[in-house]
């Protein structure tokens, strides 16, 4: 009798443990599923490696490698071409992850192709949050040094036809949540306020250099909270 009771107790304990592990796994899976995949878009004369520090921070905060997509492209080409490539990249990320939307985090010139995608290529249907760091949203005269060398630079120059079209009408279209983080001493943006987007959450972060805007941990924390 005692032996039988012990067997029953052991069986019940096993079932209970299995159930608890199953519930724990389900909760963990559900929590992981709450993350939108993040697509990172770099700027002029840069590459996906410029996001390495933030990717590490995202992983430390519970994101998986499959949810983080730092993407490289030919930065010398037209931002229109890059926008089409970004469209393809985002569709690939959605297909591979099963997610319905992504979050897009950009630096510098990366804001231009990404915003063209949102405005002109139907991107608002597939993007939940858009975050610009040191975004050249209304151009910069600093691009004068390279405007004759690269199509992308010419488009980034203050007053270009590309920028005029991009910023006509609604600068933050669709139901996407927009944020723009900018520095008051960014020597690559003239003026600094070129980064400000009408209709977005615009955050002045103090004096942070242009190239540190997408690896600064303090700014990362603000961005992470915005897309949460």
Rounded average pLDDT over 29-51: 84
Coil/strand/helix, residue 199: coil
Cβ–Cβ < 8 Å for 147, 205:
no
Given this model, what pLDDT does residue 34 score?
76
Residue 9: pLDDT band (50, 70, 90) is very low
pLDDT in tens, 87-107: 999 999 999 999 999 999 999
pTM of the model: 0.85
Question: What is the average pLDDT score of the chain?
Answer: 89
E strand spans, 102-226: 102-107, 127-133, 177-182, 201-204
Determine the Cα–Cα distance for residues 22 and 116; give it in Å rounded to an integer. 45
pLDDT at 171: 98
Question: Each residue of 107-137: pLDDT tens digit?
Answer: 999 999 999 999 999 999 999 999 999 999 9
* Count of Cβ atoms closer than 10 Å to residue 223 Cβ: 25
Q: How much is the pLDDT for 83?
A: 99
């Amino acid at each position: 009798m005692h032996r039988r009771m012990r067997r029953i107790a052991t069986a019940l304990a096993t079932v209970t443990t299995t159930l608890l592990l199953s519930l724990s796994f389900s909760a963990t899976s559900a929590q992981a599923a709450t993350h939108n995949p993040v697509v990172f878009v770099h700027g002029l004369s840069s590459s996906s490696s410029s996001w390495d520090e933030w990717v590490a921070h995202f992983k430390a905060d519970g994101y998986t490698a499959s949810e983080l997509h730092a993407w490289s492209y030919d930065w010398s080409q037209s931002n229109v071409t890059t926008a089409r490539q970004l469209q393809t990249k985002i569709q690939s990320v959605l297909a591979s992850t099963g997610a319905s939307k992504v979050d897009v985090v950009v630096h510098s010139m990366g804001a231009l192709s990404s915003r063209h995608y949102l405005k002109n290529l139907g991107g608002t249907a597939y993007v939940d949050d858009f975050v610009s760091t040191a975004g050249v949203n209304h151009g910069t005269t600093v691009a004068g040094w390279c405007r004759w060398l690269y199509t992308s630079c010419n488009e980034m120059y203050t007053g270009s036809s590309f920028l005029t079209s991009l910023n006509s009408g609604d600068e933050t279209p669709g139901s996407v949540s927009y944020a723009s983080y900018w520095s008051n001493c960014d020597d690559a943006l003239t003026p600094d306020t070129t980064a400000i987007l009408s209709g977005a959450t615009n955050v002045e972060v103090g004096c942070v250099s242009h190239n540190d805007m997408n690896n600064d941990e303090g700014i990362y924390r603000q961005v992470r909270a915005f897309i949460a």
